[in-house]
Amino acid sequence: MSAKPWQISNIPGPKTASILKSGEAVAKILKKAKRPILIVGARIVTEKVDGEPLVKYVVELAKLGIPVVATAHSRKILLEHGVKPVATMPLINITNMLKDPEWKGFDGNGGYTHAIFFGITYYLQSQMLSALKHFAPKLITISLDKEYQPNATWSFPNLSEKDWKEALEKMISSLKGG
Amino acid sequence: MSGESLRLKATEVQTTIGVIKGLEVAIGAVIEEEEEWEPMGPTPFPKVTDLRSWDMTLLKRYKPFYAPFCDLCCLCTYGKCDLTAGKRGACGLDIGTQQGRIVLLACLIGLAAHAGHARHLWHYLVEKFGRNVPVDLGGDIAVEAPHTRLICGFRPKTIGDFDVALKYVEEQLVQLLSATHTGQEGNYLDFESKALHVGMLDHLAMEIADIIQIVALNFPKGDPDAPLVEIGFGTVDRNKPVILCIGHNVAPAVEIVDYLREHNLYDKVEVCGVCCTAHDMTRYYSGAKIIGPLSRQLRYIRTGIPDVIIVDEQCIRADIVREAQRIHAPVVATNEKKCEGLPDRTHDPIDEIVDDLVNFRVPGVFIEDPRKAAELVVKTAIKIAPLRKQYKTLPSKEELIELAKKCTNCKSCRRACPNDYPVNEAVQAAKNGDLSKLAELAEVCVGCGRCESACPRGIPIFTLMTKAAEAEIEKERYKIRAGRGPIKDTEIRNVGAPIVLGEIPGVVAYIGCPNYPGSYREVAEMAEEFLRRRYIVVASGCEAMDIARYLTEEGKGLYEVYPGDFDAGCLVNVGSCVANAHISGAAIKIASIFARRNLRGNYEEIADYILNRVGAVGVAWGAMSQKAASIATGFNRLGIPAIVGPHGSKYRRAYLGRPDREEDWYVYDARTGEKVYAGPAPEHLIYPAESKEEAMVMTAKLCIRPNDTTKGRAIKLAHYIDLHKKFFGGLPEDLHLFVRTEADIPITMKDEVLEFLKEKGWKPMKIPDPTLLPRLIRRKAK
Ligand code: SF4
Ligand code: SF4
Ligand code: SF4
């Protein structure tokens, strides 16, 4: 299965993201992930998916114990929803740390294995995923946004609102289902 | 410094750049003439390696961060080479180094644009007024050309003197461009050092371009009360012949104004402009009108209002002739850098050319003589305007709805839109007669036209948008203060101390292009936030224009509400892009006038001073062009950080600090030589922010400097904390890194901050006399 970048001209090169076929597929990857981290951006402040605010899914993932990094101005809405981010910083700061092989993570227990990107401006996210593709080749990056991100390791294809919501719901229920 | 060592320095200068014979002689002459005013510093007319150690000092703390935009290299026939994740190309290059090279190339293109512009203007002005026009910026400006003094080590007396500095820039440009050839430079840090050098040269070239036009054309000379001029679509009387000037080089526009004046045609013809030519026209003649920034170019053409379009150089659409043909308006190209495939009619009789244009026999002409071009466009505009009446209107609403009916909702438009605007939804609504969504889109759109170009059904989406917003844009009438040029020495004397001590919390400069991630309003909203907080707010280029398009709650423009002084709570429009040199120049002047540091050939020391003491930050929210890349990089080498909008991540490179790495943030205490932790101040040299809220919090933070007094630091922290609470919620997580003593804590926030510091295990720190340069240590630590 292949997909075209959401922004048509965003064609990076020979190595492009594998497609996440469903919410369950994401859950499968995340269940095996040793040290995942969730990075959220400006879109979680205002954006909705088929009527549900994006932040709802951040709350769910945080409840499952995945640490959350608040980038852009997403911190405030997280706090309002009872999520205390492990860090608040520009998106590029966390990207920069993730590509440092010496970095020991926010808890000092070692680097992260999986970086999940959610609710982040498409082209900025693409650039950050590109940095990680090239300079942190061992890190697995996952985009949960509804647009295909070719620079990630894993990305949804371009989804309709309805399909996106379904994928996110399934992802959460599968993760909860153990 | 003794006369002997001065002569020695002069000899070194000559050997350093002894490539062009005339240059060598000329520099020798200037330096001999100038022996008295200041001792010569170590690096007059530096080549890249002369300041390489400063660059490496910066790059050690602010490491290049690369976000490749493309995984391939296709620059030579070995390629395409796949450079993904550690692979190397046939020449041995890796992806990081390739990014460094691309960044250098972008900066070089930017520098070439400004240097080419400066050189062209220089020839034009020297031919018109002679070499001896004095560099006289009025009694309040003695430090007339801070970059020229700092980089070249001489004081220009006449515009002719700048020839030497321009030759230096041109020679460096050749050397630096050659470093990008396959098989030349192969180290990313050295590519960055070269990019920083280019950035420095860019500010020199901009300074020259702006000063020569100010003194020769009598633009405002640092006047805080420069006139308020008109900006907006609605300022132009479309019933008169309308001449639209686009670009950055004011020469043809000046000739148009002179021609109108000489022929008593002022009231009969409208002259308006887009982009920096418009800024500079109003600096020459306050009756000229600004349509708006680059983002308004296509829209204004699509209205059909311009009768003749005259272009000079830079930021002009590549499809300008095609677009002009759509509205039956002739194009007159005037600059060798943009001939547009038009026939060269420079030497033909004017009336013959007018006749050809008025009768649409040719889409346009190239006229290399600005005076002749001016006469041509005025005569053509007057003759053609009555014939163009039918083209001066947009299609009717009914016609547009018919066009929209062709839409299949394929979303190609949306997926082509750089900002992912829901263009398809707006067209779908128009299908049903509802143009409101198209009008909303027009309000935030950056005017690129990509949606229309992508539409497989050939729907003129951009025209639809323009029509939908027609009523609104016709009402557009705002005020902008004409570009005032440099900052006065007297102003620097007033604000130098409060800036360096931190009591004026910062200087924030909104600069660059209008490739915004959202609405143009965001720039004005940010500017207003910092004006209310009594920062010094400076603006230039397209962003200066967009700030004017915003009204306060009382319905006033920001230029009408806030005075034009370089002072706390004031809003300064320095002018066009090349006037950016006055913003960096003001920082240099603080070191010179307030701190009495020698400028002459003393780049490294001044940059170290600015980095550690001058709380200035540039915000290029819509940075688009290669010029913006070189301008920002030039600010960076001088120690001034910059924030770009999210599209700025496509420049591929940021310079990032790591606040979590304590060892990166030590400075020398110049008093003792002791190494002292000074906190991550400033945290980055250039970085892309995702949202305006993030940019505002970071702006306040990036104004913090190691040298702040406790009073100054408390003021800066009060703004940082307040903005953080407002947009992020709660206290900043890194607050403890910026509190050196309890006196740094804003009084009104004392309790909560102390509690936070306790949790963090904070301990008081020393306040150094900060420098990164060991040679500036006055007494070595034992
Ligand atoms: S310049 Fe180097 S990396 Fe680029 S195409 Fe040629 S060989 Fe490949
Ligand atoms: S590209 Fe054209 S046909 Fe497709 S949705 Fe947009 S306007 Fe409609
Ligand atoms: S013209 Fe406006 S709406 Fe169309 S692609 Fe460009 S920014 Fe988007």
pLDDT in tens, B591-645: 999 999 999 999 999 999 999 999 999 999 999 999 999 999 999 999 999 999 9
CB B107 within 8 A of CB B623: no
Taking CA atoms only, the protein residue closest to ligand 3 atom 3 is B445
Q: CA A81 to CA A70: how far, in whole Å?
A: 13
Residue B717 within a domain: no
For residue A25, pLDDT over 50 is answered with yes
Q: Which ligand is nearest to the CA of B410?
A: 2
- Is B94 touching A (CB cutoff 8 A)? no
B307-332: average pLDDT: 97
Q: Name residues 361-390 of chain B within 8 A of A (Cβ).
A: none
Q: Are residues B322 and B371 located together in one domain of the fold?
A: yes
Q: Which tens digits make up the pLDDT trace of B449-464?
A: 999 999 999 999 999 9
**How many CB pairs lie under 8 A apart between chains A and B?**
126
For residue B261, pLDDT over 60 is answered with yes
The residue count of chain A comes to 178
Q: Which ligand is nearest to the CA of B405?
A: 2
- Note down the domain range covering B407: 397-474
Q: CA B122 to CA B130: how far, in whole Å?
A: 10
Choose which residue among B400, B401, B407 to substitute to test ligand 2 binding: the one with the highest number of ligand atoms within 8 A of its C-beta.
B407
User: Into how many domains does chain B fold?
Assistant: 2
Residue A2 within a domain: no
Residues in chain B with CB shorter than 8 Å from the CB of A47 are: none
Q: CA B761 to CA B745: how far, in whole Å?
A: 16
Q: Which tens digits make up the pLDDT trace of A115-152?
A: 999 999 999 999 999 999 999 999 999 999 999 999 99
Q: Which tens digits make up the pLDDT trace of B488-545?
A: 999 999 999 999 888 899 999 999 999 999 999 999 999 999 999 999 999 999 999 9
Contact B694 A73 (CB under 8 A): yes
Q: Are residues B240 and B385 located together in one domain of the fold?
A: yes
Q: Are residues B334 and B458 located together in one domain of the fold?
A: no
Residue B433 within a domain: yes
Which atom in ligand 1 lies closest to the alpha carbon of residue B76? 6
Residue with tokens 């090279």, as numbered in its chain: B101
Residue B750 within a domain: no
Q: Which tens digits make up the pLDDT trace of A73-93?
A: 999 999 999 999 999 999 999
- Note down the domain range covering A168: 18-175
Q: Name residues 445-464 of chain B within 8 A of A (Cβ).
A: 454
Contact A93 B733 (CB under 8 A): no
Residue B417 within a domain: yes
Residue B308's CB: how many other CB atoms inside 10 A? Answer: 29
- Is A134 touching B (CB cutoff 8 A)? yes
Q: Name residues 504-523 of chain B within 8 A of A (Cβ).
A: 517
Residues in chain B with CB shorter than 8 Å from the CB of A118 are: none
Q: Which tens digits make up the pLDDT trace of B233-243?
A: 999 999 999 99
Contact A123 B82 (CB under 8 A): no
Looking at residue B503, its pLDDT comes to: 85
Which of B339, B363, B391 is the last residue before a domain boundary? B391
DSSP track, B213-263 = HHHHHT--SS-TTPPEEEESGGGS-TTS-EEEEESS--HHHHHHHHHHHHT
Q: CA B134 to CA B161: how far, in whole Å?
A: 10
Dmax over CA atoms of chain A, in Å, equals: 42
- Is A132 touching B (CB cutoff 8 A)? no
pLDDT above 90: percentage of residues in chain B: 93
Contact A121 B690 (CB under 8 A): yes
For residue B330, pLDDT over 50 is answered with yes
Q: CA B610 to CA B455: how far, in whole Å?
A: 50
Contact A134 B95 (CB under 8 A): yes
Residues in chain B with CB shorter than 8 Å from the CB of A86 are: none
Contact A15 B85 (CB under 8 A): yes
Looking at residue B380, its pLDDT comes to: 98
For residue B30, pLDDT over 70 is answered with no
User: Into how many domains does chain A fold?
Assistant: 1
**B447 pocket-lining for ligand 3 (C-beta < 6 Å):** yes
Residue A77 within a domain: yes
B18-34: average pLDDT: 44
How far, CA to CA in Å, does B205 sit from each of B146, B198, B214?
12, 10, 14
Which of A6, A9, A39, A73 is the best mutation test for B, with the most CBs of B within 10 A? A73
- Among the partner-chain residues B418, B652, B730, the one whose CB lies closest to the CB of A79 is B730
For residue B297, pLDDT over 80 is answered with yes
Which of B430, B456, B474 is the last residue before a domain boundary? B474
Contact A42 B691 (CB under 8 A): yes
**Residue among B118, B127, B111 nearest B156 (CA):** B118
Q: CA B541 to CA B631: how far, in whole Å?
A: 12
**B81 pocket-lining for ligand 1 (C-beta < 6 Å):** yes
Residue of A nearest to B732 (CA): A88
Which atom in ligand 2 lies closest to the alpha carbon of residue B412? 1
Looking at residue A1, its pLDDT comes to: 58
For residue B374, pLDDT over 50 is answered with yes
For residue A59, pLDDT over 60 is answered with yes
In the numeric block, which tokens belong to residue B140?
């309040």
- Among the partner-chain residues A75, A87, A92, the one whose CB lies closest to the CB of B687 is A92
CB B483 within 8 A of CB B210: no
Contact A76 B654 (CB under 8 A): no
- Among the partner-chain residues B416, B454, B649, the one whose CB lies closest to the CB of A127 is B649
- Among the partner-chain residues A9, A13, A45, the one whose CB lies closest to the CB of B84 is A13
Residue A143 within a domain: yes
Looking at residue A178, its pLDDT comes to: 59
Residue B112 within a domain: no
Q: Are residues B314 and B460 located together in one domain of the fold?
A: no
Contact A124 B84 (CB under 8 A): no
pLDDT above 70: percentage of residues in chain B: 95
Looking at residue B67, its pLDDT comes to: 98
Taking CA atoms only, the protein residue closest to ligand 1 atom 5 is B79
Q: Which ligand is nearest to the CA of B94?
A: 1
Query: What one-letter code names the amino acid at B522?
Result: E
Q: Are residues B349 and B441 located together in one domain of the fold?
A: no
CB B30 within 8 A of CB B168: no
CB B106 within 8 A of CB B627: no
Residue A71 within a domain: yes
Q: Are residues B323 and B278 located together in one domain of the fold?
A: yes
Domain containing residue B286: CATH number: 3.40.50.2030
Residue with tokens 């006369």, as numbered in its chain: B3
Contact A131 B68 (CB under 8 A): yes
Where do the H-state alpha helices sit in B549-639?
558-561, 580-589, 603-613, 626-637
Q: Are residues B253 and B364 located together in one domain of the fold?
A: yes
Which of B452, B474, B496 is the last residue before a domain boundary? B474
Residue with tokens 């008093």, as numbered in its chain: B671
Taking CA atoms only, the protein residue closest to ligand 3 atom 4 is B451
**Mean pLDDT (chain B, rounded):** 94
Contact B67 A15 (CB under 8 A): no
Which atom in ligand 3 lies closest to the alpha carbon of residue B413? 5
**pLDDT tier at B780, thresholds 50, 70, 90:** low
Return the C-alpha torsion angle A103, A106, A110, A113, nearest 10: -90
How many angstroms away from the CA of A131 is the closest CA of chain B?
4
In the numeric block, which tokens belong to residue A10?
């965003």
DSSP track, A83-138 = ---SEE--HHHHHHHHT-TT---TTSS---SEEEEES--HHHHHHHHHHHHHH-TT
Q: Which ligand is nearest to the CA of B91?
A: 1
Q: Are residues B376 and B410 located together in one domain of the fold?
A: no
Looking at residue B744, its pLDDT comes to: 98
For residue B687, which phi and psi values (nearest 5 degrees)? -155, 150
Looking at residue B779, its pLDDT comes to: 76
Q: Name residues 8-67 of chain A within 8 A of B (Cβ).
A: 8-9, 12-15, 41-42, 45
B713-719: average pLDDT: 97
* Alpha carbon of A162 to ligand 2 centroid (Å): 21
Looking at residue B507, its pLDDT comes to: 98
CB B144 within 8 A of CB B208: no
- Is B688 touching A (CB cutoff 8 A)? yes
* Alpha carbon of B639 to ligand 1 centroid (Å): 33
Which atom in ligand 2 lies closest to the alpha carbon of residue B414? 6
Q: Are residues B250 and B371 located together in one domain of the fold?
A: yes
Q: Are residues B293 and B435 located together in one domain of the fold?
A: no
pLDDT above 70: percentage of residues in chain A: 98
B290-307: average pLDDT: 95
Residue with tokens 């699509």, as numbered in its chain: B302
Q: Are residues B345 and B407 located together in one domain of the fold?
A: no
**pLDDT tier at B5, thresholds 50, 70, 90:** very low
For residue B1, pLDDT over 80 is answered with no
Q: Are residues B319 and B387 located together in one domain of the fold?
A: yes
Taking CA atoms only, the protein residue closest to ligand 2 atom 5 is B409
B149-169: average pLDDT: 98
Residue A3 within a domain: no
Domain containing residue A82: CATH number: 3.40.50.1220
- Among the partner-chain residues A7, A75, A96, the one whose CB lies closest to the CB of B728 is A75
